[in-house]
Structures are given as structure tokens and as C-alpha cells.
């Protein structure tokens, strides 16, 4: 007697890509930037990254284990990714307890409070970062100088970021060394400094088709165009601050970005516009995080009104 | 040469797995017994015209078409009708069937000889056929769409008044993985396909026919290209390899650049699509007066001993066809009729094959099981994959929650069930399952409404 055959509805084959593989691809794409962070900020970067990841993973585990009752989702790597991205958005001399607060807020409030992976409205890592920025403004805006104090963690020599100096009027656009911005020898959050490393990661994500070009390109193009319009150096705007980290890794977060390509372009343009407005006229030197969070909030709206073009449907003629 | 064309919205790239690609067509001997199902075409089931104990000859009509959208059924063997009644089809559903046992003279006949019979009509006869005559030959031969939809061909050849077809597209896309039956047919019988194409073209009064082939079959493209070189009514068009290009709407857009308006017949674009195997069957019917009673079936799967393309009689049991390819592998867990994207799973291997069976795909245990679904991460993979420009994540969720009106508003009924969204989803969500349920629900509701309307009008 042969075994009964399995009956199921088509399709009978399935892509090899999984949620898990998507997450680990992004982690892999962050590796060049991670190496740069370790190179420029040394031990401090290592402590912040490790603390942040452990904080996020443990928070997620505890919440799934004791509060939500859902099966644990650590294995899909999304908590690790959130931890890594949160760390990338922090200065490398941040005290461990502040980082832990950031991780708990990122995972607990940013993600699990909404129902876990796929249900959150805002990018969890950015929720954590912005929470810390508003709660600990002093610690969050003292930036260790690159290269000089690799073996110092809590009391490294600090300085300002190029964008901060611009805001205060200490520097002008001409004083900023673009090569340093490209390589990462500038002050700033530990993962955002090296443009080349971030671009490498972006190319990897595009090549593996984890992300599409729509969001990063529309953000960067908008920023470049607007900076030319308002008469500031577009290269500085593109290469400094959280621009590339945000455009390539944070704004492209699957959960919090629009579903269709046309929506993605609108979303990207709006992020670019808001960032430039904040950088130019706002109180903060950097606006990428706020811009992304604001547009995360608009994503459901974009999804509702900007739909893919349906096959064979014409616009109603009236 | 221009860049190969394709359709504009969505689509996915699949591992081709054309295991039987290099195999030529193998002729299979006539079976000792066949069962012809009455509902093996779209439309009304055919009505049996034979009774138990009747003797039939190969090619005799055993069931008449019932109404306009239906098809004649012929006996593929000579022998005695042993039963007329309910049998179980491949999916386990009961349906009416006629079982015929072959007589000894019949199954000793050499199958190649049967195939290479003398032509009934000469070139001159064929040239003088009127379009209506061609359509009636096609109708009497019981030809249906052999790509899988099994829609009666003569109906498609006579579009409703008001539509004026301009182009005939012969579908040689074969976009499903594993399938090679159309590919093998194109390599084995290019002249016959071209003749069938011309007959179909004449029957539909269109000036031009295009044989569309995906570029993963360069040998077939080259062969047919050479054969059609001097012809001004038939051309070969290579298409970019992309699933689901073989679906009618996508194919029409790939070839003509026109989209079938939502809710209209494909012929509204001026295009009529027929499968290459259908064109071949039309050639057999016109040239040899041979009704549709055999076809090429790909038997394939990673553990199948001899994956290949088998030219065999319709009505043969699936098991006996699989035996031609070395028998059912021990690790078989799932048997699929059709391709892995749209094919249906078989419950009953002793059921007969039908006109619409293009492939028997055998999967082992590992391939047969679905991955466990995870939460949606809203990555948009399904949206990008959907060839109809729908939002599968949305209509699937609406259907799951029973919000049928919203689902209908989001055009759930436009879904062609190609499975691209389901394939592409990294979270392995059963998107298409829920979309199907939603479509069934909406159809039921609209039927109900109609019934109520009729009742109301009656009072």
C-alpha cells in the first residue's frame, strides 16, 4: 500500500528567501560600516554595539516569553538587526545604562507594544534613538573624535559633528573635508561616519535584491536637488550626518516603508524634504531620524492612497 | 533583432528545472483500457452516446458536445465499452466517464504507424477550406485549449459579435518550471505547428499570426524562425523569460503591448491566443481527420527515473503514464497535474489523464511540504511580483477577515491565481489560499444576489 499523497493548493514551489535570510543579509551589509566604526572609535564602538544588541535580544526574549505569549522570534534576526542599527545611531562613548534604556524602548515600545515584527508603525531603532536624544541630550550629542582615542571608552576626547559645527556657525561648507566624510574620519554616531562603507552595504543590498533603489535614490536625489536650490553644498549634505545610513538602511526598513514602488518614491522625496528643512531651519543639526519617523507615520496613508497601477484598469473617465 | 519583449507589471523569475528539456518525444503504445471523462473540458460536460457493450473504433465519437461551450469526446482505442457511469477523477471528485477495453487487434498495432497515417486532405483541399469549415472540423475533432484551460477551441475561434480579432498569438511561452511538452512539440513538429497556426489564422480571419516563445528555448526559436523565414503571415517572437508569461493576459501584453481591460474578454484587445499544442492538434484534425485523442505529457520530477515527454492516448491512467517514465519513485509525496506554480495535486493515481494534462510532476517529501508561515513583514515582495498590479497582502488579509466588499473593491476578482505572490513571500504566507477563498466567497454572494433578484422578479 503506497502512502497517501499530499494534497495542497498551488503553488507548490517557494522562494528560498526567508524573513531570516533578509535580516541576515542586512546585517551582512552593515559589516563594512561596523569595521569602520571599530577602526575609528575602537573599544567604545565595540561596547556600544555589543550592549545594544544584547539589550534588544534580551528585551524581545523577555517580552515574548512572559508578556505577549507569542512564540519567540529571536531566531529571525530582527532583534539583532534592530540592536545593530540602534548602536549605529549612538555616539561611541554612551554609558551602558543609557544604551540599555534605548534598547528596551526600541524593542519594547517601538516594536513589541505594537504586536511584534511586522506590526510596528515606526522604525524601532529610530524610536530608541530619538527617545535617547530627547531624554539625554547632552550625552547624545557629545561625539568622540575619530581615531584619536581608540582605547578609551567612557571618557574619550569629544568634539562636534560637521553638521553641528555648521549649525553653530563655527564652520562653513568650505571648511569641511569631503574626503574625511567619505572615509569616516569625522565625529558622529558610530555607524554613520563612513560614506564609502555605507555605500558598499547599499550596493550589496541592491545586488541581492533585499531593497529596491526607489527609497534611497529618491531620498538622495531630493536632498541633492534641494541643497542646490537653497544654495548649500550638496556633497556635504549627502555625505554627512545620518544621511546615508538613514537612506540606505533605516528608511528602507520593510515594515515601516510603503509597499509599492510609487509609494516608496513619494516616501523618499518627503524624507528628503523634511531632512533638509530640519537641517536648514530647525533647532537640530541633523534631521534624518525625525524625517524618517514622520514619514513612517505617513506610510499607512501612502499605502492607502498610492496603489500600484492595476493591470487592465483605466482611470475612470468622467 | 529587437530586445525580447515581455509584460510590464510584476512577474517573477523561477528556477527552470526543465529536467526533460533534452528529451525528444517518446511515443507510448496504445493502452489496453481507457476511461474518458465527460467533464474534461471547460463548459458543459459531454453527453455519452454509447452504451455498455457497444463496440467502438478508434476515433469514433463516444460523447456529444452539450450546448455551445462543450466538446465532443472520441475513443482513442478500438474496443468494447465496458461501463458508462460515475468514476473518480484525479482529484477524487466523482464524475461521469466511459470505460473502453481494447480489443487484441488494436493494441498490437504499431503506434508509430498509427501516427504516420496517410493524409486525408491534400494541400489543395486544405487551401480551399473556408473559415467556417475549419471551425467545424475543429469542433468535430473535440479540440480544446491544450495549455491547461481546456476551453473549447471552436468557441474561441468564433468571437462574439462586435469583436474584431486582428492578431493570432500562438502560445509557446511555457513559462512554468519543469514543463517541456510544448518545447518538445515545437522541436519535433515545427512544420505541423506552422500549418496549424495558418489554419487557426484563417479560421479567425486575422491577417497575422505570431508564435511567441520564451528565450529559454533558443533551439525552438531558431528552428521555427528558419521555417517561417519566407512567410509574411506568420512570425516568431522571442520573449524574455519571466513567469507568468504564458497566462493569456500577460502574453497578449508582451506581444501586442495592449492590456486586456479588466472585466472584458481577451479578444477585446484584438488578440486571440491558442497554445502550440492546440495548433498541432488542429493540423492533425484538418490534415488527417484525426480527432483529439492523444497529446504530449511531460513526466518529470527530481526522483523520476526517466523524465521525458510522452506522446500518449488521452484516457490512459496516470499510473500507467508514470510507469513509462520508470514508475512512481519510492519517495513520492505529491503528484501534480500541470506545473508547480498552477498545477493541482492528484489524489487518485488510477484516474485517467484528460485533454488538459500537460505535465505529471512528482515531488518528494521535502519538496512537497510548505514552510511554516511567519508574520507579514510588509516587504512588498508580493506587490512587486503580482502581474496584475494588485496588492496580494491586502486582498488576502481582507478575504481572511471576511471583508469581501473591500476585497472586491481592491479588485480581488482580477487575480489570475498565478501564484507569484505566494512564491515570492519570504514569510511563506499562504496569500493565494485566502485570495481564492475570497474569490469563491464573492462569486457565491453574487450568485445569491442573482437568485434573489430572479425570485423577486418572479413574484
Residue B87 lies in a domain: no
Residues B115 and B239 in one domain: yes
> Greater confidence, B103 or B445?
B103
The pLDDT tens digits of the residues spanning B13-48 come to 999 888 887 778 888 888 999 999 999 999 999 999
Look up residue B356 and give its three cell numbers: 488538459
Phi, psi of A139 (to 5 degrees): -65, -30
In contact, B291 and B271? CB cutoff 8 Å: no
Give chain A positions within 8 Å (CB) of B369. Answer: 6
The pLDDT tens digits of the residues spanning A73-125 come to 888 899 999 999 999 999 998 999 999 999 999 999 999 999 888 999 999 99
Residue B439 lies in a domain: yes
Q: Tell me what pLDDT residue B311 has.
A: 92
Confidence of residue B457 (pLDDT cuts 50, 70, 90): very low
Tell me the CA distances in angstroms from A242 to A83, A196, A238, one per residue in order. Answer: 17, 13, 9
Q: Worst-scoring range by mean pLDDT, A101-110, B131-140, B158-167?
A: B158-167
In three-state secondary structure terms, A111 is helix
Strands B47-48 and B294-300: unpaired
State which residues form the domain around B447. Answer: 381-458
Phi, psi of A253 (to 5 degrees): -50, 125
B382 to chain A, minimum CA–CA distance in Å? 9
Confidence of residue B458 (pLDDT cuts 50, 70, 90): very low
Residue B52 lies in a domain: no
Residue B105 lies in a domain: no
CB A116 to CB B375 under 8 A? yes
Give chain A positions within 8 Å (CB) of B429. Answer: none
Residues B396 and B275 in one domain: no
User: ipTM for the complex?
Assistant: 0.89
Residue A156 lies in a domain: yes
Q: Tell me what pLDDT residue A186 has.
A: 84
Nearest to A312 among B249, B341, B380 (CB): B249
Prediction pTM value? 0.90
Residue B170 lies in a domain: yes
> Greater confidence, B107 or B387?
B387
Whether chain A has a CB inside 8 Å of the CB on B94: the answer is no
Which of A2, A4, A7, A15 to mutate to test binding with chain B, by most B CBs within 10 Å of its CB?
A15
Residue A10 lies in a domain: no
Nearest to A11 among B375, B388, B419 (CB): B419
Residue A269 sits at the vertex; the CA angle it makes with A267 and A274, to the nearest 5 degrees, is: 95
In contact, B35 and B315? CB cutoff 8 Å: yes
Number of domains making up chain B: 2
B362-372 mean pLDDT? 90
Whether chain A has a CB inside 8 Å of the CB on B376: the answer is yes
Q: Is the pLDDT of residue A157 over 60?
A: yes
Q: What is the CATH number of the domain that holds A97?
A: 1.10.3430
Look up residue B101 and give its three cell numbers: 477495453
Residue A314 lies in a domain: no
B337 to chain A, minimum CA–CA distance in Å? 11
Strands B33-37 and B61-64: unpaired
The residue behind cell 486525408 is B120
| C-alpha dihedral (A273, A275, A277, A283), degrees to nearest 10 | 170
Tell me the CA distances in angstroms from B63 to A94, B106, B369, one per residue in order. Answer: 83, 21, 39
Q: Tell me what pLDDT residue A318 has.
A: 38
Number of domains making up chain A: 1
State which residues form the domain around A296. Answer: 19-305
Residues B386 and B283 in one domain: no
CA-based nearest residue to B170, from B240, B246, B227 = B246
Phi-psi label, residue B263: left if phi above 0, alpha if psi -120 to 50, beta otherwise: left
Q: What is the CATH number of the domain that holds B266?
A: 3.40.50.11540
Residue A45 lies in a domain: yes
Residues B115 and B261 in one domain: yes
Residue B252 lies in a domain: yes
Q: What is the mean pLDDT of chain A?
A: 90
B234-246 mean pLDDT? 94
Residue A4 lies in a domain: no
Contacts of B130 (CB under 8 A, 6+ apart): none
Amino acid at each position: 500500500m503506497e502512502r497517501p499523497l499530499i494534497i495542497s493548493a498551488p503553488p507548490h514551489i517557494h522562494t528560498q528567501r526567508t524573513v531570516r535570510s533578509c535580516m541576515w543579509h542586512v546585517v551582512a551589509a552593515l559589516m563594512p560600516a561596523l569595521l569602520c566604526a571599530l577602526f575609528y572609535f575602537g573599544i567604545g564602538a565595540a561596547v556600544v554595539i555589543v550592549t545594544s544588541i544584547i539589550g534588544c535580544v534580551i528585551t524581545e526574549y523577555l517580552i515574548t516569553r512572559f508578556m505577549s505569549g507569542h512564540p519567540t522570534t529571536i531566531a529571525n534576526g530582527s532583534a539583532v538587526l534592530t540592536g545593530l542599527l540602534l548602536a549605529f545611531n549612538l555616539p561611541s562613548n554612551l554609558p551602558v545604562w543609557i544604551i540599555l534604556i534605548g534598547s528596551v524602548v526600541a524593542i519594547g515600545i517601538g516594536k513589541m507594544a505594537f504586536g511584534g515584527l511586522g506590526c510596528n508603525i515606526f522604525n524601532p531603532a529610530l524610536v530608541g534613538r530619538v527617545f535617547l536624544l530627547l531624554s539625554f541630550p547632552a550625552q547624545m550629542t557629545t561625539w568622540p573624535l575619530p581615531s584619536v582615542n581608540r582605547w578609551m571608552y567612557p571618557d574619550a576626547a569629544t568634539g562636534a559633528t560637521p553638521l553641528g559645527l555648521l549649525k553653530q556657525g563655527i564652520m562653513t561648507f568650505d571648511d569641511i573635508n569631503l574626503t574625511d566624510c567619505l572615509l569616516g574620519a569625522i565625529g558622529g554616531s558610530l555607524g554613520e561616519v563612513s560614506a564609502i562603507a555605507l555605500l558598499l552595504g547599499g550596493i550589496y543590498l541592491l545586488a541581492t535584491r533585499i531593497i529596491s533603489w526607489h527609497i534611497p535614490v529618491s531620498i538622495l536625489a531630493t536632498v541633492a536637488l534641494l541643497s542646490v536650490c537653497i544654495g548649500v553644498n550638496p556633497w556635504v549634505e549627502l555625505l554627512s550626518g545620518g544621511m546615508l545610513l538613514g537612506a540606505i538602511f533605516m528608511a528602507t526598513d520593510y515594515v515601516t516603508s510603503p509597499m509599492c514602488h510609487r509609494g516608496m518614491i513619494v516616501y523618499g522625496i518627503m524624507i528628503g524634504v523634511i531632512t533638509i528643512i530640519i537641517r536648514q531651519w530647525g533647532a537640530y543639526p541633523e534631521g534624518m531620524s525625525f524625517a524618517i519617523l514622520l514619514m513612517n507615520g505617513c506610510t499607512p496613508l501612502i499605502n492607502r492612497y498610492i496603489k500600484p497601477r492595476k493591470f487592465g484598469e483605466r482611470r475612470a473617465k468622467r | 533583432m529587437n530586445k525580447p519583449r515581455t509584460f510590464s507589471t510584476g512577474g517573477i523569475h523561477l528556477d527552470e528545472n526543465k529536467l526533460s528539456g533534452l528529451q525528444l518525444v517518446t511515443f507510448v503504445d496504445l493502452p489496453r483500457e481507457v476511461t474518458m471523462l465527460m467533464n474534461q473540458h471547460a463548459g458543459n460536460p459531454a453527453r455519452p452516446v454509447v452504451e455498455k457493450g457497444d463496440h467502438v473504433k478508434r476515433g469514433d465519437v463516444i460523447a456529444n458536445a452539450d450546448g455551445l461551450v462543450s466538446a465532443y469526446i472520441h475513443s482513442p482505442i478500438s474496443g468494447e465499452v465496458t461501463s458508462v457511469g460515475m468514476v473518480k477523477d484525479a482529484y477524487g471528485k466523482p464524475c461521469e466517464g466511459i470505460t473502453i477495453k481494447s480489443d487484441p487487434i488494436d493494441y498490437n498495432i504499431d503506434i508509430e504507424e498509427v501516427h504516420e497515417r496517410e493524409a486525408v486532405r491534400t494541400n489543395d483541399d486544405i487551401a480551399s477550406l473556408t473559415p467556417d469549415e475549419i471551425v467545424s472540423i475543429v469542433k468535430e475533432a473535440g479540440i480544446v485549449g491544450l495549455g491547461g484551460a481546456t476551453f473549447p477551441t471552436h468557441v474561441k475561434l468564433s468571437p462574439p459579435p462586435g469583436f474584431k480579432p486582428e492578431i493570432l498569438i500562438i502560445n509557446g511561452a511555457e513559462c512554468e518550471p519543469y514543463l517541456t511538452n510544448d518545447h518538445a512539440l515545437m522541436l519535433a513538429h515545427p512544420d505541423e505547428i506552422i500549418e496549424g497556426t495558418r489554419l487557426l489564422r484563417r479560421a479567425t480571419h486575422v491577417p497575422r499570426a505570431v508564435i511567441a516563445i520564451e528565450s529559454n528555448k533558443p533551439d525552438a526559436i531558431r528552428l521555427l524562425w528558419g521555417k517561417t523565414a519566407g512567410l509574411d503571415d506568420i512570425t516568431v517572437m522571442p520573449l524574455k523569460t519571466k513567469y507568468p508569461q504564458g497566462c493569456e493576459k500577460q502574453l497578449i501584453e508582451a506581444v501586442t503591448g495592449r492590456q486586456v481591460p479588466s472585466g472584458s474578454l481577451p479578444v477585446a484587445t484584438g488578440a486571440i491566443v491558442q497554445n502550440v499544442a492546440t495548433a498541432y492538434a488542429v493540423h492533425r484534425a484538418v490534415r488527417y481527420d484525426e480527432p483529439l485523442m492523444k497529446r504530449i505529457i511531460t513526466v518529470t520530477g527530481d526522483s523520476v527515473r526517466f523524465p521525458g515527454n510522452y506522446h500518449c492516448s488521452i484516457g490512459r491512467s496516470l499510473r500507467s503514464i508514470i510507469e513509462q517514465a520508470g514508475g512512481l519513485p519510492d519517495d513520492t509525496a505529491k503528484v501534480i497535474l500541470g506545473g508547480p506554480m498552477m498545477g493541482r495535486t492528484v489524489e487518485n493515481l488510477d484516474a485517467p489523464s484528460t485533454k488538459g494534462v500537460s505535465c505529471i510532476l512528482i515531488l518528494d517529501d521535502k519538496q512537497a511540504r510548505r514552510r511554516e508561515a511567519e508574520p507579514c513583514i510588509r516587504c512588498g515582495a508580493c506587490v512587486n511580483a503580482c502581474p496584475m498590479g494588485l496588492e496580494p497582502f491586502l486582498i488576502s488579509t481582507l478575504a481572511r477577515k471576511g471583508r469581501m466588499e473591500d476585497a472586491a473593491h481592491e479588485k480581488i476578482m482580477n487575480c489570475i491565481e498565478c501564484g507569484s505572490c505566494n512564491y515570492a513571500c519570504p514569510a511563506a504566507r499562504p496569500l493565494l489560499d485566502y485570495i481564492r477563498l475570497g474569490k469563491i466567497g464573492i462569486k457565491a454572494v453574487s450568485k445569491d444576489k442573482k437568485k434573489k433578484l430572479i425570485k423577486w422578479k418572479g413574484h
